[in-house]
Amino acid sequence: MCVLLISTLIPIIILGFIVSGDGAMGDVSTYTESILQHLNFTFWLVIPPIAVITLILLKVPAIPCLITGLLLGGISYLLFQGGIKDHTGMLHSIVLKLSRFVGTIGNLTVTVLLTSLFLNIFAANQYLAVILPGQMFEENYRDLDLKLKNLTRTLEGGGTLTAPLIPWNSSAVFVSSALGISAASYAPYAIFCWLTPIVLSIFAYANFSMERVEPMEPEPEAQQ
């Protein structure tokens, strides 16, 4: 992770010196006014994240934490923001066909990354791009005696970080709506988003930083 952060930080620093923009501080206030005009901010909106963080600290399994966050987030959206977002489907059958390519650590990692990217493109929802591949490939990680933290890291790199790069993805739509900047405009500068999957793939094929389950240390079911 340190290597990835440094690799991301260096080009950003360089770009900061060589790239000039024509924006002004007035633009920031315009964006702020637009956000405040279209979104309602209240103390009650911090309840969902606080609840999820509390459950995580109490070591509650991932699925109950996720369901709690979704329910509280949905209720908050209905009460304070006025409606429910678009529904998307699961591409379950397509993901199943990818399972035959996961015999090695490198192939498994790349398959998870590509599956998450595929779902971000065609389902346009980053949460689905994390949840579905996680459920599908969990057993493959166990079969290779890999800790599930490896799967979690890969899901974040392939599902969460690539979502803002897809123009029609809900994550990119939010950024575009809030800031008025298209995904195509900021994607080249979102170095961390597109560099992370590349680094994860290299690490996997090099078998570097891929932690395994110790023979006498069976992994808890709820670790993911």
Please write the tens of the pLDDT for every residue from 80-139.
665 644 333 444 455 456 666 777 888 999 989 998 998 888 878 888 888 878 877 888
pLDDT tens digits for 37-96? 666 677 777 888 888 888 888 888 877 777 787 777 767 766 666 564 433 344 445 545
Q: Is the pLDDT confidence value at 208 over 80?
A: yes
Q: Is the pLDDT confidence value at 23 over 60?
A: no
- Other C-beta atoms within 10 Å of 121: how many? 15
Neighbouring residues of 45: CB distance < 8 A, sequence distance ≥ 6: 76, 80
Q: Is the pLDDT confidence value at 155 over 90?
A: yes
Residue reference for tokens 């803002």:
164
The overall average pLDDT reported for the chain is 78
Percent of the chain with pLDDT over 70: 73
Q: Is 195 exposed, middle or buried (0-12, 13-18, 19+ CB in 10 A)?
A: middle
- According to the model, what pLDDT value does residue 27 have? 60
**pLDDT band at 201, cuts 50/70/90?**
very high
Distance between CA 210 and CA 38 in Å, rounded?
44
Neighbouring residues of 223: CB distance < 8 A, sequence distance ≥ 6: 147, 148, 149
